[in-house]
Chains A and B, each alone.
Chain A
Amino acid sequence: MSIQEIQDEIVSEFEILGDDRESTIFYIMEIGNNLEAFPEEEQKEENIIKGCQSKVWLIADEKDGKIHFQADSNTDITKGLIYLLIRVLNDRKPEEIIHADLDFIQKIGMGGIIGSQRSNGLAAMIKQMKLYALAFQTKLNASNGN
């Protein structure tokens, strides 16, 4: 599925939840359980994303020209948010990630659900994922002799 298709899928999932804020937050907490287990030794200072109130660790690896993200957090709501981002952006080529327009966040009204502090944190997570993509792209281009 393309980035856009997955985003549309998420939007329709949130539409089913309707307007009840509490159920939406419970749902976000619940989906965080789908995150791949994060290696404990990677829960270190250098992997923490700056700009998040809660702790968020993010690491990335490249395989066959695609980027694989792993992330974790000390709060359940944040875990759910990262899970959504990873679901959309994982195992894709760097340029796809760099140019991804993550319109699902606005479409599901995430800002209104999670509030301004967490929205800033979410923006910081996206920025960090795109920075990883940019770094891998530069590295891949260099090794391809471009």
Chain B
Amino acid sequence: MTTDSSTLNASEAELAQLVVETLNLDQAAADIDPDAPLYGEEGLGLDSIDMLEISLTVSQRYGVKLRADEENNVEIFRSLRSLNAYIQAHREP
């Protein structure tokens, strides 16, 4: 277990890699700040098409459905870390 909050744990690193590949980001997966905002101008600067793409990929890879009627989407998609926490809590065993 790492204590440094800016480094990725194993499952976060896997998700970061998936996001980078899916969206063809010019950024190494290891360089993503897990707490940086995903959506909007700051942080990773993703738009709503990117968010759709991530939700489709996550559903394929982890079997976790991200739905629009989920009220906590802003929280879930806040950062790589929060998205990963949601996936790990809901993925099929």
- Genuine A/B complex: no
B binding-site residues for A, Cβ under 8 Å: none
